[in-house]
Amino acid sequence: MSERADLIRSSRFRAEREADWKRLGEIVERAETLGLSRLDFDDARDLVLLYRQATNSLSVAREISLDSAVATYLESLCARAYLVIYAPRASLAGLFSRFFTRSGPAAVRRSYRAILVAYLLLAAGAVAAYLLTQNDPNWFYAFVPGDLAGGRGPRASAEALEKMIYGEGDNQLGQLGAFAAYLFSHNTKVSLFAFALGVVFCVPSVLLILYNGAVLGAFVEIHAAKGLGVDFFGWLSIHGVTELSAVAIATAGGLSLGYAMLFPGRRTRGAALRHAGRDAVKLAIVAALMLIAAGLLEGFGRQLVTDFWARIAIGWGIGLLWLAWFALAGRNAAPAQSPNLAVAH
């Protein structure tokens, strides 16, 4: 480099630093292919230092150099290194344990008002449909779509309904098949839409959960009219406690999104939505887990367990377990956020 003493300033600037840039490029390349944790000691130690130097060089080069090659190169190099250095560093195991022990139940606790509202709307829909169907059985057909009724209706005989409840019907799929058919069925769709469409100022969520309550109420009424109310309660309990809670929680997520849109407070609507989204997304995940659990209960439990009291015990027992998880998990943990979240905000 001695013969380059006459180089112009920006070329000297480049010549002095080029080796460091190249080394940073190599470390970043290795980190991308091997993973950050498998860098050797020297590389790991120098990565951040070299990155800081490179960003420095970039900002200086923009000011003093008209060598477009340097500016373009440094820009790509810094961007590449930035992406490696600020990569999400959460491990899957850590992520799951944090969700299950802290952030999931904490989000449910924080959203208890929305969840209560969702349950109340569900109950309101059920009561209204019960009363309407009691007055005029034809209302049943208004509430319950054909594929969901599955042969049940106001005109079905008590024996037929009882068969359905106690699993001797001829339309039973296999136990797992029921689960499979179930997973994409009614309640999953309702939960998904009640969550996602809540953004539109809560209206679709409210309508959906009222409607879901109405379906429930109509079913209860046709069974109660035939004196099978208690049996239906048992049949519904085994999976319904979990399933309807999942619908309510998903709806609560949608409601909190819609609430943020309606009353953003001092934030902009977008900011309020993003803020509400942090808990709403966790509610959605909780609801998804509950739906899968409900699917398993429906697939195995409903056909295997036909005893009335066992059904009640399993259904409400599992409901209590959910409640205990929501109410107790991670209570005394300080609201310590993950390093990643702390960076984000």
Partner 1 sequence: MAALRLRRKAQATAGRPQRVKDRRKRLTLTPPEGVPLHLDIASLGARFGAQFVDLVITTIGLVLVLLAFVYAGFASPDALGAISAFLLLLIGAPYYIITELLMNGRTFGKRMLGLRVVSKDGSGLSTHQIVVRNLTKEVEVFVPVSFLMTGQGASPWFVVAMLAWLVFVFAVPIRNKANQRIGDLIADTAVVLTPKPLLLADVAGQADATARERFVFSSAQLDLYGAYELQVLERLLRGGEASRPGPERYAGLAKIGQSIRAKIGYEETVSPAEEEAFLQSFYVAQRSYLEQKKLMGEARADKFHREDDTPRIDAASHTTASAPTQEKGTRP
Rounded Cα–Cα distance for residues 118 and 180 (Å): 27
Q: How many CA atoms lie within 13 A of 105 on its CB side?
A: 18
By CB under 8 A, tell whether 200 contacts partner 1.
Answer: no
Subset of residues 127 to 146 that bind partner 1, contact rule: CB under 8 A: none
Residues with Cβ < 8 Å from 196, sequence gap 6 or more? 254
Q: Which helix (H) or strand (E) holds 267?
A: none
Q: Are 283 and 245 in contact (CB under 8 A)?
A: no
Concatenate the DSSP letters of all residues of 272-301 into one string: HHHHHHHHHHHHHHHHHHHHHHHHHIIIII
By CB under 8 A, tell whether 25 contacts partner 1.
Answer: yes
Q: Which helix (H) or strand (E) holds 174?
A: none
By CB under 8 A, tell whether 191 contacts partner 1.
Answer: no
Subset of residues 203 to 242 that bind partner 1, contact rule: CB under 8 A: none
Question: Is 344 exposed, middle or buried, given 0-12, 13-18 or 19+ CB atoms closer than 10 A?
Answer: exposed
- Residue among 178 and 216 whose Cβ is closer to partner 1: 178
Q: What's at 257, amino acid-wise?
A: L
- Residue among 82 and 316 whose Cβ is closer to partner 1: 82
Q: Which of 173, 200, 203, 262 binds partner 1 (CB under 8 A)?
A: 173
Q: Which of 277, 310, 313, 316 binds partner 1 (CB under 8 A)?
A: 277
Widest distance between CA atoms in the chain: 103
The residue range among 152-160, 162-170, 234-242, 333-341 that interacts with partner 1, by the rule CB under 8 A, is 333-341
Q: Are 228 and 159 in contact (CB under 8 A)?
A: no
Q: Which helix (H) or strand (E) holds 332?
A: none
Q: Which of 27, 78, 122, 283 binds partner 1 (CB under 8 A)?
A: 78
Q: Which of 66, 93, 263, 335 binds partner 1 (CB under 8 A)?
A: 66
Q: How many CA atoms lie within 13 A of 55 on its CB side?
A: 11
Based on DSSP, count helices (H) and strands (E) in the chain, helices before strands. 17, 0
By CB under 8 A, tell whether 44 contacts partner 1.
Answer: no
By CB under 8 A, tell whether 39 contacts partner 1.
Answer: no
Rounded Cα–Cα distance for residues 340 and 271 (Å): 19
- Residue among 17 and 152 whose Cβ is closer to partner 1: 17
- Residue among 77 and 126 whose Cβ is closer to partner 1: 77
The residue range among 17-25, 133-141, 303-311, 320-328 that interacts with partner 1, by the rule CB under 8 A, is 17-25
- Residue among 70 and 209 whose Cβ is closer to partner 1: 70
- Residue among 240 and 299 whose Cβ is closer to partner 1: 299
Closest CA to 243 of 173, 139, 315, 175: 315
Size of the site for partner 1 (CB under 8 A): 74
By CB under 8 A, tell whether 341 contacts partner 1.
Answer: yes
Rounded Cα–Cα distance for residues 312 and 314 (Å): 6
Quick count: other Cβ atoms within 10 Å of Cβ 257? Answer: 29
Subset of residues 82 to 111 that bind partner 1, contact rule: CB under 8 A: 82-84, 86-90, 92, 95
Q: Which of 16, 42, 59, 136 binds partner 1 (CB under 8 A)?
A: 59
What's the closest the beta carbon of residue 23 comes to partner 1, in angstroms? 12
By CB under 8 A, tell whether 174 contacts partner 1.
Answer: yes
Q: Which of 149, 281, 310, 312 binds partner 1 (CB under 8 A)?
A: 281
Query: 């991670």: which residue's tokens?
Result: 330
Subset of residues 298 to 327 that bind partner 1, contact rule: CB under 8 A: 299
By CB under 8 A, tell whether 167 contacts partner 1.
Answer: no
What's the closest the beta carbon of residue 11 comes to partner 1, in angstroms? 5
Q: Are 99 and 330 in contact (CB under 8 A)?
A: no
